[in-house]
A and B are shown apart, each in its own frame.
Chain A
Amino acid sequence: MTVKKVTVDSEKCQGHNRCYAMAPGMFKVDEYGYATPRGEGTLAGQKDIELAQRAVENCPERAIEIIEVED
């Protein structure tokens, strides 16, 4: 079984806050604006995957990825 997860590359993130706005609840940002996925970043269903996809598409730094990992 594989699961999908959303990741943020902290080297690339510059704190634009776009993912935070686009996919409410999926990311948290610190006081500098740098984002990390909430919890493990696991995408529970199709709705989550679509939201994560929007975050990927709107991140100007190309810092967000959807990856597949072994459960």
Chain B
Amino acid sequence: MAEPVKDWTTDYDIFSREYIKDPFPIWDDIRGKCPVAHTDRWGGSFMPTRYEDLFDIAKNIQTYSSRNVLVADVMPAPDQERPELTEDEQELVQQYNVGAPPITSDPPVHTWARKLLLPPFSVTSVARYEQETRELCNELIDAVIKNGRADGAVDYAQQIPPRVIASMLGIPKEMTATFTEWVRGFLELGLTDPELREQSARSIFEFMIGQVQQRKENPGDDLISYLLKAEVDGAPVPEPHVVGTCFLLLVAGIDTTWSSIGSAIWHLAQHPEHRKQLIEEPALIDNAVEELLRAYSPVTMARYVAEDTEYKGCPISEGSKVLMNFPAANRDPQVFEHPDEVILDREKNPHIAFGVGIHRCAGSNLARMEMKVSIQEWLKRIPDYRLEDPDAVTWAGGQVRGPRKMGVVFPS
């Protein structure tokens, strides 16, 4: 059991139960006291919580590099020697030492890697998946609606993003449960468990290497085939890069979005007036999605400090980690009126749930579509529901925050 936190500005613990369950008062506390908090826990890091500061730091890509975006370091650095691996494995690690471009890239690689990825995630491209997402939501609801109870996280939110991304990648949907396990192993449970994390990362990489080989032989109308066909400056995209990007799509596209969907279902369970508002004014949905993204932003990223620097009087040395607390920025009273209130028709909402600057989430349009459709279909079928036991809801947090167990009951 870790020591309890006494001062959140000098000793925060983003994996503590208190922080995961209810981070909002902690962010208020830090925001009111200093621009950048610091901790020695989990390898040490710095953490801004004010909107202005997140904005400035995200824009300064020279000093704050994206070469490492994970909020805790439990894995050996990619260039570290790995005597435990066989020679073949070592060679593979060398060859595939590309990270997860473009999220882990800085310019110039970032520039072309991102350009490659944006078109398949444009508003019009993701609209192609809207109908099947709607059908999927209804199938999931069909399975639980007669029971009068469901787990809004496990039975619903968690099931949607892995299937949509599987469909985009041309991977059988039966893989959904495995994907979920791997991604949680890498990004959630694995953040504090190095062995699980490494094992999960390896499973994803091996799987994606296999998929890439298959697509080379049998190209299809899917994202992996698209990446393999794409050219940069007249040459095909290197295969390890394609594998790295597929790794990213799986890791970044799954528990981030399911966390957002889960938080939305959780919020609406407790706010009948908001359910009513959405049912009576269907056109409000796009705004509501943005507001729920703001109030329950799931993702905290990290940056790697590439040179000794100082931020608002706080010295930060090269090699440090800065946690990009976008969720805290989105509750900053300097920018958002009544930041802790969910106002579905909020007019001024420049939230940075998807980040800001050159690393703006490439999948943001897909995430929005999935959120919109999953809220709409849920409310159509289950307009009246509540949490079974609010205290029994469990949350994941740290890098990605959202409910993981959330019993809801409704008239069957």
Contact = CB atoms under 8 A, between A and B. Distances in A.
B40 interface: no
Interface stretch (A1-9, A41-49, A57-65): A57-65
Contact of A17 (B123, B349, B356, B357): B123
A58 B360 CA distance: 15
B41 interface: no
Interface string A29-42: 10111000000000
B118 A15 contact: yes
B360 A21 contact: no
B350 A14 contact: no
Nearest to A16: B360
Contact of A58 (B124, B348, B358, B364): B348
Nearest to A34: B118
Contact of B356 (A14, A32, A57): A14
Interface string B8-35: 0000000000000000000000000000
B369 to A, nearest CB: 11
A53 to B, nearest CB: 9
Contacts of B271: none
B354 interface: yes
Nearest to A57: B348
A61 B360 CA distance: 10
Interface residues of A, number: 18
Given A33-B118, A57-B350, A14 B360 contact: yes
Contacts of A62: 350
A29 B364 CA distance: 15
B349 A15 contact: no
Interface residues of B, number: 21
B364 A59 contact: no
A33 B122 contact: yes
A54 B286 CA distance: 14
A69 B352 CA distance: 31
Contact of B122 (A14, A18, A31, A58): A31
B347 A54 contact: yes
Nearest to A20: B123
Main secondary structure of the interface of B (DSSP, over half): loop
Of A58, A59, A60, most buried by chain B (CB within 10 Å of CB) is: A60
Nearest to A32: B118
Nearest to B117: A32
B365 interface: yes
B119 A32 contact: yes
Given A14-B356, A14-B358, A21-B286, A31 B119 contact: yes
A59 B268 CA distance: 26
A16 B365 CA distance: 8
Contact of B115 (A16, A21, A32, A58): A32
A31 B347 contact: no
Contacts of B123: 17, 20, 29, 33
A14 B361 CA distance: 10
A20 B122 CA distance: 12
A14 B357 contact: yes
B351 interface: yes
B130 to A, nearest CB: 15
Contacts of A21: 286
Nearest to B348: A57
Interface in B278-336: 286, 290
Given A33-B365, A57-B348, A16 B119 contact: no
A28 to B, nearest CB: 11
Contacts of A29: 122-123
Contacts of B358: 14
Given A14-B356, A17-B365, A59 B122 contact: no
Contacts of B357: 14, 61
B350 A59 contact: yes
B60 to A, nearest CB: 14
Interface of B: 115, 118-119, 122-124, 286, 290, 347-352, 354, 356-358, 360, 364-365
Given A61-B356, A61-B357, 6 more contacts: A16-B354, A18-B290, A32-B115, A59-B350, A60-B350, A60-B354
